[in-house]
Every structure is written in C-alpha cells, then in structure tokens.
Amino acid sequence: MTHRKVFKGAEFLITDVSPADVFTPEDFTDEHRMILDTARDFVKNEIAPKMDSIEAKDQGVVRDILSSAGELGFNSTDIPEEYGGMGLDKVSTTVVTEALGSAGSFAVSYGAHTGIGTLPIVYFGTHEQKQKYLPGLASGELCGAYCLTEANAGSDALNARTKAVLSEDGKHYILNGEKMFITNAGWADTFIVYAKVNGEEFTSFILERGFQGLSTGAEEKKMGIHGSSTRTVILEDVHVPVENVLHQVGKGHQVAFNILNIGRWKLGAAAVGGCKQCIEEATKYANGRIQFKQPISKFGLIQSKLAEMSIRTFMAESMIYRTAGMFDDQLGTLNEEDKKDGGKNATAIGEYAIECSINKVYGSEVLSYVVDEFVQVLGGYGYISEYPAERAYRDSRIGRIYEGTNEINRLLVPGTLMRRAMKGELPLMSVVQNLMAEVMEYSPLAVELPDSPLALQEHMIRMMKKTALMVAGVAAQKFLQNLEREQELLALISDMVIEIFAMESGLLRALKVLDKYGAEKAQPYVDAVEVYVNDAVLKIETWAKQALAHIEEGETLRTQLVLVKKLCRYQPIDTLALRRRLAERITQLEKYPFELR
C-alpha cells in the first residue's frame, strides 16, 4: 500500500490534507477488486435467492450462509492467520462489509458476528482465548453476539446492573442480570457479555451458549430487519471460568467503546452497500416505468432524486474508505508484539473515535434518505411488500439507533474533540486563538483562486473549517465546563464537523481521480463535489448563525455574524444543470455512477 501521512484523529479540522494522503476506492488493488466482485456475487447468488427464508428467521439457512461466508474468508478478514483468519487490511474488511450491506437482514446478522461479536477477542483476547474461539468464528462454525445493552443501560452503557461475583474457590465469576436487544441471540454460540465485578468494576467476559444458567427470551417483534434474531439474554448464576475474563477486570470500557468505534465505521460501510443497491434498483425501475409516453427517468424531479441519492452516497463512500485507510495507517505503526497488546490496540483504534462517529451518523442518515427516495421513485409500488423498497425502508430505520444513537454520536464528536484539546493531544485551542485575528483581517474580495477544477470548492472547505472552529471556540469560551449541558449547540457544531469531513473526503477523492484519469472521466466526480459543497456551505452558514445567536447577543453577536458572513461568502452555482448531467449518466449505466474499472 502506498505510504501516506499518519493523521491524528480529527486533525482534518486544522490541517490541509493532500489527495495523496487519503485512501479512495480508486486506490483498490487487484485483490481488493477481486474480493469486492466475489462478495457481490455471493450476495446475488447465495443470499438474495434465500431472502424469504432469511426474513422468516430460518436459523438453518442463516447458519448455512454464515458457514459459506466463512469458506470464502468473509468472516475472517480481521482475524490473524495463526487463528484461522485471513489477516487482511481494513480496506479489505470495508470492501466485504460494503458488499454484504446490500444483503438485507443477513447483513445485520453478519455484521454483528464479524464485528462486535468477534473483534473483542481479536483485539483484547489472550492467546488461549484466540486459539479456542477465533477459528470457529472465522469458519462460521461458531456465531458471535455482543451483550451490552440493558433496560437501564442503553446509551449510558456504564450504568449496567449485571453483576459478576468471584466464586469462593476463585475459579469462576458468577454472573446475574439481563441483556436486551441482542442481535444473533437466538442462534449465537459465543457471547461477549459486560458485567460489573462486585457491582463496581465494569468488565467483559466470553460466555458460551452451553454455560448453565444462560438462556434467551422470545424473539422481539421488530419494525424491520425481520431476518435477524433479536432477543433478551438472561443470566442466572452463570458460572464463567476466570480464564474467560476478556482483557482485564475493570477495563471493560476499553473493550466496549473501542469495539463500538469499529462497529460504527462498519455500519457506515454497510450503509453504502445498501445505498448502491437502492440506487440501481430505483434507476432500473425509473427507466422501465412509462408515463406520459416516456420513461419517468426523463422527468426532472426523478432525475434530481437519482442524482442526489448518488451524490450523498458518493460522499459516504469517500469518507468510509478514507477512514479505512487511516485505520490501516495507524495500525501499521504498531509492531507485531504491540498488535497483541489490547491496551495498545485500544489506543490505536480510539484515535479515530470522532471519525467513526461521523461515519455512523452520516452513513445511516444517507441510507435513510436514499431508501425514502427509493420508495418515492417507485410510487405506489414502493409501498407494496412484494417490491424491495418497502423492506429496505423498514430495515434502514434501525441504523440511526444501534451502535450508539445518532444523538449520542453527535454529542461524542465535539465532546471528544474538546477533551483532546484540553489534554494537549490536538492543538485545537492555539489554532482557535490565532483564528480570530485572522478572520478579522480576512477579505473574501481579495482572494485570488487558481484557475483549476474545484479550486473554489477547496477554498470554501477551508473557510468552513474556520467557521466551525470559530463557533466551537466561542462556545467553549462562553460555557466552559457547562458546555456539555448545551446539547443542541453541540449538535450544531457536530453537524458542521460532519459536513466538513464529508465534503472534504469527496473533494480529495475527486482531485485524485482528476489527476489519475483526466478531466473526462473525472467529470461526474467534479459535478458531485460542486453540487455538494454548494449546498453544504449554505447549511453550515445557517448552523453557525443559529449557534452564535444562542451564545452571544448585542454588539458581540453582530460582530460575529459579520465574520461568519465573510467566511461563508459564496456565489451559488447552477446545481440543477449539474444534477441533470449526473442523472443522465446514472440512467445510462443503470447503477451507482462512481465506479471506475
């Protein structure tokens, strides 16, 4: 893999990033492309024909597919070779996750198994634990589940009431409690369970279905993802061998939160796969649906929908693979001995907690938008269960809830950013201090941009970074330690940061395509970025004004609003024409239009 700069988490806010320093799908190796094609064929040939059985929760079918996925190596991209895995890079994991993301309910079962059900052992397990469990998880012989949520411990995971008490002979921990909404609970063999030792020390354990006292409740009747198993896991005096403590007693939060970080990023990757499938099916329908003597794909409002669905998916895809590259770069700094150390893995993974939350929020919300428009393109047929849009619409809704609600993740973005700044891990405060004087002197009329594609968009992204940092700095100065109570304000800051990461990821990718393939092939990429940045600037300006109006008043507010107006000065472009041009390409290809082969 090409050497790239190793960035700190959230460093993109204060640093100009070069296209050469981000990974994009255009950087796929031949192996990556082969894995992607194989995974897509697997979904098409092995999963799609069995979707009715999957939706009916046919455990035998689901487990057979999981075993078949194991034979192809899809379950084990993150598992080291010495434990029966493939030991591949995070880009390969993303490729498989994206492809399987179009597999309906099976994608949920698969994601829980290969992600949060397996990775705790990969990153935090002892050699003996890895030897015992990972080969079976890799092959699909074993199915994994992750048990964190409780009735009184959802987003507040550390409020868990499940208790673990050491037995008198010191050989077992005795667990009591209930975990709810557990994916794969009905057919899982291994369970990563969190409990408080002596009611205080939050700790992770590996449990097996055969442990006496472990049982599951009835299947939950869900709005969507009907083919996945979701049950309560009940623990009644379950004796867990002390050697099944995962990581260290009292350090369960390191396991839980760092694995959730990866889960959030993988959820974003799966969402991209779902989006691409919806775009393809919506386009084929629009081309075939004749109204007023022509395909509805010729109508401007349908074209606008197809274009916008693809543009947002392009931004999500760009940030997902950018983050995958960052993971590979960061984990690549560890030597082989460090990779066996759970604490060092936690540090490496946790570096990109902000980017993982961004991926989760953005990916899940793009999928929600795309499936909604998918239904709309199909019209009445989109509301009928025989057509795939209806199921996709219901299935997508959970994405904004699990792996941490989008509200929690929105709070994590600025919260983590501020904590890192206070610890000196990110020179955010010094940048903000220098920014105010710079903004006061800034004159948008004096800026001369090079005559090159996307120069204006690149400039506006820099201005949006300054806008977000200014608002964050003013908010921190105003509220100090009470800032965490200002959730609506934090959400506005978070939305600005999310949009910046999205449009910069798209921009860097488009510039890379432009340099590598030339203007003609890069045109759709350039069009997408121009449309997206145009709309994002308007949104960020509005959010900045809303935030400042809450923070300040009087002359101070008026001064700050003038600064925002200067930073956000921008003449809108003709996005209608650009969307039409993109829609023409989409309807010709009858699929997602940003894949160069």
* Residues carrying an active site annotation: 403
User: What are residue 186's phi and psi, to 5 degrees?
Assistant: -70, -25
- Quickly tell me which residue has 């948008």 as its tokens: 444
Q: Do 107 and 100 form a contact (C-beta atoms < 8 A)?
A: yes
What 8-state DSSP symbol labels residue 72? T
Contacts of 417 (CB under 8 A, 6+ apart): 10, 13, 354, 426, 428, 472, 497
Query: For residues 80 and 64, what is the distance between their CA atoms, to the nearest angstrom?
Result: 23
What is the spatial distance between Cα 408 and Cα 406, in angstroms, rounded to a whole number? 5
Measured distance CA(138)–CA(133) in Å, rounded: 9
Q: At residue 546, what are phi and psi to the nearest 5 degrees?
A: -60, -45
- Helix, strand, coil percent values for the chain (each to nearest 5): 65, 10, 25
Question: With helix as H, strand as E and coil as C, how does 113-127 read?
Answer: HHCCCCHHHHHHCCH
336's CB contacts (< 8 A; 6+ apart) are none
Question: CB neighbours of 284 closer than 8 A, spacing ≥ 6?
Answer: 590
Residues with Cβ within 8 Å of residue 66, at least 6 apart in sequence: 75, 109, 110, 113, 140, 143
Residue 212 contacts residue 238 (beta carbons within 8 Å): yes
Cβ atoms of 188 and 133 within 8 Å: the answer is no
